[in-house]
């Protein structure tokens, strides 16, 4: 089984506009049109069984509206192999009721993005969300490390993440982009072996420049194969989740990247699906 733990879709009416804007900011290529239809076609080509859809709330006003739409679509999406998370924003005041609502509708987790939400992950508003979501048994997946489109500041340093782990001890805490994108020495020193999961999204192999020819990516800091293997072994392959960040990586190519690495059969099986299955379908 292959489960892609980190993908994004957008409403058909805005997907093209959103992807074009983000591509210009990051100077990186996108590989689907950002729609549900585009993701399902990509999954079929790559033999991905399930993808986890992660909404990013860029304002508090989006929270209820977007979550309600995703709840309404949840069963239809699942029929296509797409499990959707909910989203949360640190300025959303009614967060407890919203997190309870997500749990009651069997939404397995939430996505937070401190960089897009302009809030440090160890800010009290973020910490209260992570704490209560964990009380509800929800998975909390956060962007971790530098964002390739917002590269002037890291809102999720390893120091800040260690504070979350120490003070909240969330049971289902997933750090996107192998723990802290672009800061691999910090990951290996501070986070490898910690009680968290890393997803592999947008972390391995070359970054593809955008089709518009607007320049190379501002940063190109993905892991080399040998560094990825070393971090996996130090952290534990049982806490690594296959993820692509589709549409920002090609799922077919990303499956091949993992398959080409010198991992054991058991390590590969855990990373591709077994670890995610335990989190999503306990």
Q: What is the pLDDT along the chain (282 residues), one digit of tens a residue?
A: 999 999 999 988 888 888 888 888 777 888 999 999 999 999 999 999 999 999 999 999 999 999 999 999 999 999 999 999 999 999 999 999 999 999 999 999 999 999 999 999 999 999 999 999 999 999 999 999 988 877 778 999 999 999 999 999 999 999 999 999 989 999 999 999 999 999 999 999 877 767 655 555 545 578 999 999 999 999 999 999 999 999 999 999 999 999 999 999 999 999 999 999 999 998
Enumerate the H helices of the chain as residue ranges: 12-26, 36-46, 62-79, 95-104, 124-135, 158-168, 184-186, 225-235, 251-260, 265-269, 275-280
Q: How many angstroms separate the CA atoms of 1 and 7, rounded?
A: 17
- Predicted TM-score of the model (pTM): 0.95
The residue to which tokens 């949360």 are assigned: 88
pLDDT, residue 214, reads 57
pLDDT, residue 147, reads 87
Q: How many angstroms separate the CA atoms of 127 and 242, rounded?
A: 26
Q: How many angstroms separate the CA atoms of 210 and 28, rounded?
A: 4
């Amino acid at each position: 089984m292959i489960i892609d733990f980190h993908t994004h879709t957008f409403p058909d009416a805005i997907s093209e506009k959103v992807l074009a804007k983000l591509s210009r900011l990051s100077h990186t290529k996108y590989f689907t049109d950002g729609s549900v239809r585009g993701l399902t076609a990509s999954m079929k080509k790559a033999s991905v069984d399930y993808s986890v859809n992660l909404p990013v709330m860029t304002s508090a006003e989006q929270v209820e509206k977007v979550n309600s739409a995703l709840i309404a679509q949840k069963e239809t999406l699942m029929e296509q192999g797409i499990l959707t998370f909910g989203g949360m924003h640190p300025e959303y005041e009614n967060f407890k009721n919203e997190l309870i609502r997500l749990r009651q509708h069997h939404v397995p987790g939430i996505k937070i993005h401190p960089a897009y939400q302009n809030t440090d992950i160890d800010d009290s508003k973020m910490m209260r969300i992570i704490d209560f979501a964990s009380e509800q048994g929800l998975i909390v997946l956060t962007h971790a490390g530098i964002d390739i489109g917002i590269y002037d500041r890291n809102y999720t340093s390893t120091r800040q993440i260690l504070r979350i782990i120490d003070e909240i001890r969330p049971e289902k805490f997933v750090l996107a982009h192998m723990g802290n994108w672009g800061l691999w020495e910090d990951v290996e020193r501070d986070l490898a072996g910690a009680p968290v999961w890393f997803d592999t999204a947008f972390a391995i192999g070359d970054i593809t420049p955008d089709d518009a020819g607007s320049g190379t990516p501002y940063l190109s800091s993905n892991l080399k194969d040998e560094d990825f293997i070393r971090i996996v072994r130090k952290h534990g392959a049982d806490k690594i989740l296959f993820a692509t960040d589709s549409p920002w990586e090609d799922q077919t190519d990303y499956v091949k990247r993992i398959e080409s690495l010198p991992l054991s059969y058991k390590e590969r099986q855990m990373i591709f699906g077994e670890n995610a299955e335990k989190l999503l379908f306990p």
